[in-house]
Amino acid sequence: MKLSQTLGKSLWAFLFNSGSCNGCEIESVACVTPRYDLERFGIKVVGSPRHADLLLISGPVTRKMAPRLKRVYEQMPEPKIVVCIGTCGTSGGAFYDSYTLVGPVDQVVPVDMYVPGCPPRPEAIIDGVVKVLARLEAKENAAS
C-alpha cells in the first residue's frame, strides 16, 4: 500500500511553539474548530510527538528552544512531515536580528513547507498541509 494513501487521510499533527507570539497557535487551533473542522480529513491534534506524522512549527527558534525542537523532531516516528507556520519561522520576521535567536526554523530542522503570513489564516495553513501531501504523493509516484 502506498504511504500517501493512508498518511493523507489520517494525518496526526503535533503543534510546536519554538518562540512564537501565540498568534500562529490561535490560527492553527482555529483549524480544528467547527468552522474549518480538519477532522473531516482525518487530521487530528495529538499530545505526543511519538503519535504525530506532522510537526507544525510556529515562531522563530530561540536559543532555549533550539535543542528542544531538535529533540521533538527526532522523537517523531518515520515518516514525518514538517510544516513551518508564519513569517517568523520562515525568515525570522520582525525578530530577524535578535540576539536571542538561533535563526529561522530551517536552521535547526529540515522543513517541507513554509506557510507565510503574520499570522497566516487557517485556510492558508490547511492549503500548506494539502500541498505538502500532494508533493509526497508525487514523489512516491516518481519513485515507483
Residues of the shown chain interacting with other proteins in the complex, contacts defined by CB under 8 A:
1, 3, 6-7, 9-10, 34, 37, 39-42, 46-48, 50-51, 53, 75, 77-79
Sheet-wide strand order for 12-17? 44-45, 12-17, 54-58, 81-85, 113-115
Nearer to other proteins by Cβ, of 112 and 114: the residue is 112
Q: To the nearest whole angstrom, how small is the minimum distance from the Cβ of residue 81 to other proteins?
A: 12
Q: Find the shortest distance in angstroms from Cβ 85 to other proteins.
A: 20
Longest CA–CA span in the chain (Å) reads: 48
Q: Which helix (H) or strand (E) holds 56?
A: strand 54-58
Rounded to the nearest whole angstrom, what is the least distance from the CB of residue 91 to other proteins in the complex? 30
- The CB-of-104 to other proteins minimum distance in angstroms stands at 26
- Backbone CA torsion sign across 9, 15, 107, 96: positive
Q: Which is nearer to other proteins, 101 or 125 (CB)?
A: 125
Comparison of 14 and 114: residue with beta carbon closer to other proteins: 14
Q: Which amino acid is at 69?
A: L
Indicate the residue among 31 and 102 with the shorter CB distance to other proteins.
31
Cα(44)–Cα(65) distance, rounded to whole angstroms? 24
